[in-house]
Structure 1
Amino acid sequence: MRKVRDYDAELKALGDKARALKAKKVQQLGELVMATGADTLDAEVLAGALLHVIGEAQVAENREAWRSDGAAFFQRRGRKAGKGNAGDGQDAGETPTGGS
């Protein structure tokens, strides 16, 4: 005889998983805002800047430039974390926006 599926329990488990993933995404976005230094901006300024970026995101050239700047940002952070204090002096002259 086949085992009866408990659809309610499965739906609850999926809902719990979806909530956990959303919470993780929100946490990661908050960490990204803090890591870039954008947490020093007022919420209205940050929201306006993001809306402006979304408006310009349709231009492929902008997206590629932002992607390369973002990749460079994460590579610099990875090097600093990996080397400890030894790598801190190397990136002192670089700007967080990658110079764009």
Structure 2
Amino acid sequence: MRKPRDFDAELKSLEDKARDLKTRKVQQLGELVISTGADALTADELAGALVVLAETTDAGKKEAWAKRGAAFFRGRSRRSAPAPDRNTGGTPTQPGGAQSASGGTDAS
């Protein structure tokens, strides 16, 4: 006879993983704000800039921001090569999109 599945334990495990992913995402976004120097802005300024960036539908601007963000990460990777654990956190995924937005703050 087959052992019944413990759905409560599986659900708890999935909730824990989701919470960990959300925590990591928030931490990475904070690190991104600091590394770009955007932490010098007030919360209102930063929020306003991000709202404008999120509302932008111009594909050309978004592409330019993405290129600028990619260049930022390439340059940072070379400068911080002795600390490999700083770049493994999520550089290829999440922060790339967020960097496009914050990289465009200067361009808007």
Normalised TM-score (structure 1): 0.80
Structure 1 residue runs of 4+, over 4 Å off? 97-100
Larger RCO, structure (CA 8 Å, separation 6 or more):
2
Q: 1:79 to 1:4 in 2, by over 3 A?
A: same
State the Cα distance separating 1:82 from its structure 2 match. Answer: 2.2
Superposition pairs for residues 1-100 of structure 1, below 5 Å?
1-56=1-56, 58-82=57-81, 100=107
For structure 2, the residue ranges without an aligned partner over 5 or more in a row are 84-102
For structure 1, the residue ranges without an aligned partner over 5 or more in a row are 85-96
RMSD, matched Cα: 2.0
Q: How many residues align?
A: 87
Identity of aligned residues (%): 56
Normalised TM-score (structure 2): 0.75
Q: 1:48 to 1:12 in 2, by over 3 A?
A: same
Amino acid at match of 1:15: E
